[in-house]
Amino acid sequence: MAYPKEKREQIRRAYVLDGLSLEVSAQMSGVAYGTAQRWKNAARDAGDDWDKVKAAHVFAGSSLEELGRSMITALILQFNSTMARIETADKDGEPLQPAERVKLLVSLTDALNKAVSSSKRLLPETNQLATALEVIQLLSHFIKENYPQHLQAFADVLEPFGHEIERVYG
Do residue 106 and residue 167 come from a single domain? Answer: yes
**How many structural domains are present in the chain?**
2
pLDDT at 20 over 90: no
Query: Mean per-residue pLDDT for 8-30?
Result: 89
- Which range, 15-19, 37-41, 78-82, 118-122, is most confident? 37-41
What does the pLDDT look like over 92-130, one tens digit per residue? 777 778 888 788 878 877 877 777 677 665 665 556 766
Residue 146 — pLDDT band, cuts 50, 70, 90? very high
Closest listed residue to residue 158, CA positions, set 132, 140, 134: 140
How far apart are the C-alpha atoms of 107 and 88, rounded to whole Å?
Answer: 19
Do residue 114 and residue 160 come from a single domain? Answer: yes
Do residue 92 and residue 55 come from a single domain? Answer: no
Do residue 102 and residue 166 come from a single domain? Answer: yes
Distance of CA 17 to the CA centre of its chain: 13
Spatial contact of 96 and 86, defined as CB atoms under 8 Å apart = yes
How far apart are the C-alpha atoms of 107 and 48, rounded to whole Å?
Answer: 25
pTM for the model stands at 0.41
Do residue 11 and residue 67 come from a single domain? Answer: no
Do residue 66 and residue 9 come from a single domain? Answer: no
Phi then psi dihedrals of residue 122, to 5 deg: -80, -40
Residue 67 — pLDDT band, cuts 50, 70, 90? low
Do residue 158 and residue 76 come from a single domain? Answer: yes
pLDDT at 132 over 90: no
What does the pLDDT look like over 33-44, one tens digit per residue? 999 999 999 999
pLDDT at 84 over 90: no
User: Which residue segment(s) compose the domain that 139 sits in?
Assistant: 62-170
Q: Which residues contact 83 (CB under 8 A, 6 or more apart)?
A: 159, 162, 163
Q: Which DSSP string do the residues of 1-23 spell out, in sequence order?
A: ----HHHHHHHHHHHHTS---HH
Do residue 51 and residue 123 come from a single domain? Answer: no
